[in-house]
Amino acid sequence: MNLKLFFFYFFAGLALAFPSDYLKLATWGLEGYAKDNPIGPTTGGRGGKTVDVSTAEQLVAAVAGTDPKIVRVKGKITLPARLKIGSNTSVIGVGVSAHITGKGLDVFSGDNVIIQNLKISHILDNDCITIRNSTRVWVDHNEFFSDISYGPDHYDGQVDIIRASDYITVSWNYFHDHWKSSLVGNDATFRDLDSGHLHVTYHHNYWRNMGTRGPAGRFGKQHGKFFYNNLYEDFLYQAIHSRSDNQVLVEGNVFRGNTSEALSTYGLVIPMDSPNTCTCGDEELDGYANLGAKNDWGPAGVNITQKGTFYKADYKFKLTPLKLVPTVCKLGAGVGRIFK
């Protein structure tokens, strides 16, 4: 099936599944901090050359440098080393079979990067994607997975955002069968470096059969992370964890299944998150959380120890109606489902 035909059938399916005003309420294009920030919207490689790649060697060469470029990934590629993505780059999977395994992706000291429509799985050396000291990164419509049965320390994170990175949007991704999903701000020694940065938006992501860090955030009294319209199913221990002075605004999310704790600002890092620190957990300072539009917590617990100053997102966005969030996220998140 060609891409235009796929979009036609997908659009038709959405029209049947939702009220007629649904497409006016769900946001399929870029939204959040990667769009609305002092630098300008994230455009990736727009305006540059387009390169198709199907081998690790081709991919490494294609993403290097800072000239604008769109790199289209075809098929499964096993990376022998971590892939360093240059600034002004779009890495976009073709169809539903584009798949990265072996080693993960790094956006280090970069700007203006889009990673879209890729399956990324079973990364053993580090995170699936690490964003470090970088600005304007959009991680959209990808699928991340491994094997949760190995426990918390066999695999690392799926998308980690660290070291003063800023203006990031993580949207429409399908995270599943993994232990530690996403960490924002990772080391107390970089607290001062991170201060005033780490503006991150998570929206319309679908988490299923996960352990912890959906996501976990540290640092940032002056700003916050914004989570809206995400779906959590069977998040076994701790979904959203705000600690070490971190601030979050949580709106219109849905929690289902065996989800123990939907949201916590208590600073304790539970043993199921970092078992190597202490068998009783690792004490950090508490974080902050504010609630905007209604969330559906389901059977999950909520532990807000202190409210913060981040009451309203500083950009425009549209919330999907709460009752539609589960269906919308299941239909729209992951690869092969980009619709604009």
pLDDT (0 to 100) of residue 272: 76
**Mean pLDDT over residues 240-248, rounded?**
93
pLDDT (0 to 100) of residue 279: 57
Question: Percent of the chain having pLDDT more than 70?
Answer: 88
**Mean pLDDT over residues 130-145, rounded?**
98
Q: Which pLDDT tens digit goes with each residue over 78-126? A: 999 999 999 999 999 999 999 999 999 999 999 999 999 999 999 997 9
* Nearest alpha-carbon partner for 62 in 86, 96, 97, 46: 86
Euclidean distance between CA atoms 248 and 243, whole angstroms: 10
Kindly list the catalytic residues: 213
At 25, the amino acid letter reads: L
Q: From edge to edge, which strands make up the β-sheet containing 89-93?
A: 49-53, 69-73, 89-93, 111-116, 135-140, 166-171, 200-203, 225-228, 247-251, 288-291
Q: Which pLDDT tens digit goes with each residue over 210-237? A: 999 999 999 865 557 899 999 999 999 9
Q: Which pLDDT tens digit goes with each residue over 287-305? A: 999 999 999 999 999 999 9
Q: Is the pLDDT of residue 309 over 60?
A: yes
Euclidean distance between CA atoms 109 and 195, whole angstroms: 17
**249 alpha carbon, distance to own chain's centre:** 16
Q: What is the model's pTM?
A: 0.91
Domains located in the chain, CATH noted: 3-332 (2.160.20.10)
Q: Is the pLDDT of residue 191 over 90?
A: no
